[in-house]
Amino acid sequence: MKIQHLRNGVILISVGLVFLFNNLGYVDWEVWETIISWWPVYLIALGIEIVFRNSLLKPIALISPLTFAFFILGPAWWQWEGKQHDRFVQESQWSQPISAQTNLLQANLEFKLGKLKVSSADDKAINCHFEYEGLEPYKDFTEQNGVAKLTLADPGKKHIGIRFDEAGMSHSNWRVKDRNWEVAFDTSTLLELELCSQVAKNDLDFSQLKIKKLDLTFQISKANIKLGDKVDTVIMNLEENVSKVYLAVPKEAVIMLEKKVGLGSISCSNVNLVKAGQSEGYKSGHPVIFLTYQGGLCKLDVRGY
């Protein structure tokens, strides 16, 4: 059988199955936006087929029909599976007041999958909204001698894979629905935050918070981080692995950068960046961000606003 005949048959069968799923209501019609968005992959598959189908390496040309089957049926399959898990998603609210005597909050967040949003709260409290399957997020809060300690952890199991949605394909979990967490911190209490985000999209708005120290670890994640000028000095340790981070800082701030060995790249615009060990460019009277950065196969984009 010729490869091109096999490929055409696979395309017809795959397209027919997706249309069948649409008509039966198992898959939304919007799935075609995802399927069509992968047109460059189809061109690459056709190119591989043309190059190898008449050569001694003809079996390599089988990549073409396999690619079409995967990128046509894949989005439909994962969308259907996501709908099944929607039935098991639970939501909960949690609020923890902070006493007036507390002047420092040390928070530890462990988030695995989904979307994490960190923002500010109007009252002197920690306000949270959780989505989860199975086990409810672990919460622990204590106060002693003016220091509060908070732990929030996602106990769900992690299965890294590939997810298809309206934005295309992303690294995610094909058996557990994405979780959405929203955590709002008090704006009047100094905050030291340690965050580990594994396979997630993070929206971290610290512009209204009194940030003292940040220890951030991202694994196969994307993060938008915004710092403000509520304090004079911020110590920030950032570690990325196969991630992309956008860091927005006040344009008058000074960033004292120490870059450790790694495969991560840094781009800067409209910021006052000073490498560790150098003093030129430093302006007293402006917020100072001590940034220690280490990354592997990732990118850090720093911008002033």
Q: Identify the pLDDT of residue 85.
A: 58
**Mean pLDDT computed over 171-197:** 80
User: Which whole-number Å values give the CA distances from 22 to 31, 35, 50, 143, in the listed order?
Assistant: 9, 13, 32, 54
Helix (H) or strand (E) holding 302: strand 299-304
Instruction: Name the residue with higher pLDDT: 227 or 160.
Output: 227
C-beta of residue 184 within 8 angstroms of C-beta of residue 208? no
Q: Where are the domains of the chain?
A: 3-86, 90-304
Beta-carbon count within 10 A of 118 CB: 23
Lowest-confidence segment of 39-48, 63-72, 118-127, 292-301 by average pLDDT = 292-301
DSSP string, 94-123: EEEE--TT--EEEEEEEEEEEEEEEEEESS
C-beta of residue 109 within 8 angstroms of C-beta of residue 117? no
Q: How far apart are CA 271 and CA 181, in angstroms?
A: 31
* Sign of CA pseudo-dihedral 237, 244, 295, 253: negative
| 270 phi-psi bin (left φ>0, alpha ψ -120 to 50, beta other) | left
Helix (H) or strand (E) holding 34: helix 31-37
Query: Residue 178: which pLDDT band, with cuts at 50, 70 and 90?
Result: low
Q: Are strands 211-219 and 190-206 parallel, antiparallel or unpaired?
A: parallel
Interval 52-101: pLDDT, tens: 988 888 899 999 999 999 999 988 888 787 666 556 678 999 999 999 99
Statement: residue 236 has pLDDT above 70: yes
Would you state the structure tokens that stand for residue 153, as one six-digit string?
């952890």
Beta-carbon count within 10 A of 296 CB: 14
Q: Identify the pLDDT of residue 84.
A: 61
C-beta of residue 190 within 8 angstroms of C-beta of residue 104? yes
Of the candidates 93, 76, 274, which has an alpha carbon nearest to the alpha carbon of residue 165? 76
Q: Identify the pLDDT of residue 173.
A: 38
Would you state the structure tokens that stand for residue 110, as one six-digit string?
């462990």
Beta-carbon count within 10 A of 5 CB: 10
Backbone angles phi and psi of 41, in degrees to 5 = -65, -40
Instruction: Name the residue with higher pLDDT: 175 or 47.
Output: 47
